Amino acid sequence: MQKGEKANGGHDPNKAFDFEFEQTIVCTKCNCYRKVTEKESLLNLVAPVSGKVEAGTPVQLSDCLDKFFTPVEVSDVQCHSCGSKQVHTVQKRFKSYPKVICVVLNRFVIENWAPRKLEIELKFDPEAALDFTKFGGDVPVSG
């Protein structure tokens, strides 16, 4: 599709899906931080449920978004400032927004070294507007 549009002098239709994340990584010892920008074209979410969830269990899209954008702690990371291996807090935020967002829900868990698909049901109200602005900007990282 890209090649066809480019050959005809048109715009790349895939650009409507492009956006950037800003990942902030903070050392919990010295509070030094660094920011990394990642280009993406889809939002890859994980359901906030355990692997023991029953088939047909409803999962709200807003809960998946909250889980994705919640800061996480990563252990045993070498700090680029103080040089010690410490726990770091990592948080993703939107740096830019796409015109059209494509969301993928990862519904697989690993059990006994084998992947198993969770038969969950993603729920969202198409009439209700999702506020993605709360996941953007230069929001301070907790930690």
**CA–CA separation, 97 and 15 (whole Å):** 11
Nearest-10 Cα torsion for 42, 73, 133, 39: -30
Residue 138 is predicted with a pLDDT of 60
Is residue 99 predicted with pLDDT exceeding 60? yes
Can you tell me the mean pLDDT for 85-107?
93
Burial class (CB in 10 A: 0-12, 13-18, 19+), 71: middle
Q: In the structure, what pLDDT confidence band is assigned to residue 36 with cuts at 50, 70 and 90?
A: very high
- The residues that bridge with 35 in the sheet, in sequence order, are 24
E strands, 1-143, are 19-27, 33-40, 43-46, 58-60, 72-78, 85-96, 103-106, 108-111, 114-117, 121-123
Question: What single DSSP character describes residue 68?
Answer: H
State the pTM of this model.
0.82
Is residue 139 predicted with pLDDT exceeding 80? no
Scan for tokens 């709360």, then name that residue: 134
